Chains A and B, each alone.
Chain A
Amino acid sequence: MTRLSTRFAALKREGRAGLIAYIMASDPDHETCFEILRGLPGAGADVIELGFPFSDPMADGVSIQLAAQRALKAGGSLRKTLDLARRFRAEDQTTPLILMGYSNPVEQMGYDGFSRDMANAGADGAIIVDLPPEEDSPLRAAFAPNDLSIIRLATPTTDDNRLTKVLEGASGFLYYVSVAGVTGANAATSENVRAAVERIKRATQLPIAVGFGVRTPEAARAIAQNADAVVVGSAFVDEIAAGGSEQAVERVLRKVEQLSEAVRTARGQ
């Protein structure tokens, strides 16, 4: 059992969806980010997605683009991201933490080094946005010995044939990108998402998380009806951007509480 499978099994027993909270490492600076990170589980995040910054985030909307710029300005890097993960893991042994970002920083570190350092830091898996199944075999080979999960993405453009390809070698959970677009874009309609989740569920036993464009408790609640988890990122990142770093911790965690509450209670209604 990995931390991810343990957590998803627990959510299933509780009969509720989970909240996956995304923040960008080193945004707005390392220490403020660490304070947010360590507060996430208490505020209701069931899984943490920690972004590592890249200069050219071409699948991200403005919120996360700016987060990456702030992080890089604060000295953020893949190494610093792993360091934050390690500090988090020293305090919390149960909340799954996955990394999310683009492939070039990983290429420069080397896939084996990335896998080893992730395992040492206590990270559980990764989403590498620009590594589709066609290109992720070096990462899969490097992750296997350390039992790290490769989280694959399915999108509205993924047809049934493609879905089979995406699911081969996927682990941890499947991330359904609910709209064709960048992060933080407009939300999909809940009927479309519901139908997509049902379609994917017929094809896999993996838990399904739905993200992109989920900003409000209402949207999160709708998705939590049938998805196993709801991913929220831009809405939290915007709270960091909204002002001074002292209040940032509190603002983000309050937002996490709100969305967590919506996700937790969704199926009771």
Chain B
Amino acid sequence: MATNVESRRNWQDLPDADGRFGQYGGRFVAETLMPLILDLERAYRAAQADPEFAATMQDFWTHYVGRPSPLYFAERLTDHYGAAKIYFKRDELNHTGAHKINNCLGQVLLAVRMGKTRIIAETGAGQHGVATATICARLGLPCVVFMGATDIERQKPNVFRMKLLGADVRPVTSGNATLKDAMNEALRDWVTNVHDTFYCIGTAAGPHPYPEMVRDFQSVIGREAREQILEREGRLPDALMACIGGGSNAIGLFHPFLNDEDVKLYGVEAAGFGLDVYNKHAAAINGGKPGVLHGNRTYLLQDDDGQILEGHSISAGLDYPGVGPEHSYLADIGRAKYLSCTDDEALEAFKLCARLEGILPALEPSHALARVGEVAQEIGKDGLIIMNLCGRGDKDVFTVADALGVTL
């Protein structure tokens, strides 16, 4: 656990000027991109200081995205486990069906401010791609989405949605043709189109200032949840839970609570076929070690030579060999705890939530749902848990049917 010295620090003042969260984070990019990310940081600081930027965001949140998202008491799930009260932060009700749009909105508005005329993005599950394509359609900007060919196959509905929204979806066939390869390809595009292009990264990872910026845009989740639980229960929750892909929905929920040390933080990583099965899970913190990829130092799935492993998860949105640097830091100092959940456990949680609450969760938050019962027992009967239901499961019905042996 955290040392006494560490536990008295201000958890919210990171990253430092070099983009570091302890040893994690940083700016590990090719020289061609350095001036661009320094410029992005300056533009972001200016936007942060501009009330008009905040007002524009607020307007879109209220009238376009549908914020605040409800804080919902999952009564039957709570009864099912018979322990702490379980609340869902319902970011799956956002326009486009996931938390991803919170971040896309912020980044694309920033791109417009910077005079950029072309947006690129990578996507795994397709949620970030759909959200980026949506905002680009709304703001009238061309949008190119890089997506691994494997993911295109397993997330067909989202691919079609992106196309309907006018995005140019580019299949990526290098490597294992999944999210990390899509990110490589987006970086290659950015380094080639430096003058007009803005790279809208979909999670709280990448070179500084992305992890900080994405976290800030997603922190609306935690700010709302804090206000809502205080109103509903008159006190702070005992625990927060969220699934971890790159970690953006989790850090968005956690960050406004970081200094409330009595609030326990639980991230849940994808354990795929099991943490003990080599290269068949996507749990960077539980099953990886620190290294450098995609512009930041963080926990990574890798071999002894530093080659990145592909990993595996049934959930395309969690199938990434890294994790945002702030999570690596929170794990090391013990402020947050990182659990894991296998494909099978996530499927069971998916089914349970559908039957008990009438909500089809995305496979990503199903991972967090799968651990909710145990955390509820640990916290006990009078406790309060908020779990980030960060996406809806419509996009996953084909994958789930397939896993259950059903032909649609």
Contacts and interface: CB of A to CB of B under 8 A. Distances in A.
**Interface of A (DSSP majority class):** loop
A157 B187 contact: no
A106 B175 contact: no
B36 interface: yes
A109 interface: yes
Contact of A104 (B18, B174, B192, B308): B308
Interface in A177-208: 177, 180-182, 185
B307 A54 contact: yes
A155 B32 contact: yes
Contacts of A93: none
A181 B36 contact: no
B79 to A, nearest CB: 47
Interface string A156-170: 111100100010000
Nearest to A185: B192
B28 interface: yes
Contacts of B184: 56-58
Contacts of A155: 30-32
A109 to B, nearest CB: 7
Contacts, number: 117
Interface stretch (A14-22, A128-136, A142-150, A251-259): A128-136
A77 interface: yes
B180 A130 contact: no
A139 to B, nearest CB: 12
Contact of A131 (B28, B192, B291, B294): B28
Interface in B281-309: 290-295, 297, 300, 302, 304-308
Contacts of A72: 307
A108 B290 CA distance: 9
Nearest to A175: B31
Contact of B35 (A60, A102, A159, A177): A159
B27 A134 contact: yes
Interface string A34-71: 00000000000000000001111111110001000000
Contact of A182 (B31, B191, B291, B306): B191
A101 B27 CA distance: 17
Interface string A94-119: 00000000111111110000000000
Contact of A65 (B18, B29, B35, B174): B174
Contact of B292 (A103, A180, A182): A103
A262 B250 CA distance: 57
B194 interface: yes
A132 B34 contact: yes
Nearest to A101: B306
Contact of A157 (B28, B32, B174, B305): B32
Interface residues of A, number: 43
Contacts of B18: 134
Nearest to A154: B31
A153 interface: yes
A74 B401 CA distance: 39
Given A65-B174, A157-B32, A108 B27 contact: no
A12 to B, nearest CB: 26
B26 interface: yes
Contact of B305 (A59, A78, A159, A182): A78
Contacts of A129: 30
A103 B28 contact: yes
B35 A157 contact: yes
A79 B303 CA distance: 13
Given A104-B292, A105-B306, A108-B305, A132 B29 contact: yes
B29 A130 contact: yes
Contacts of A135: 26-28
Nearest to B181: A56
A152 interface: yes
B192 A105 contact: no
A231 B310 CA distance: 32
User: What 7 pairs across the A-B complex have the smallest Cβ distances?
Assistant: A108-B306, A105-B306, A104-B306, A181-B192, A153-B31, A77-B305, A155-B32
24 contacts: A54-B306, A54-B307, A56-B180, A57-B184, A58-B183, A58-B187, A59-B188, A59-B191, A103-B292, A104-B302, A104-B307, A107-B290, A129-B30, A130-B295, A132-B27, A135-B28, A152-B31, A155-B30, A157-B31, A157-B32, A162-B34, A166-B31, A180-B192, A182-B188
Interface of B: 18, 26-36, 174-175, 180-181, 183-184, 187-188, 191-194, 290-295, 297, 300, 302, 304-308
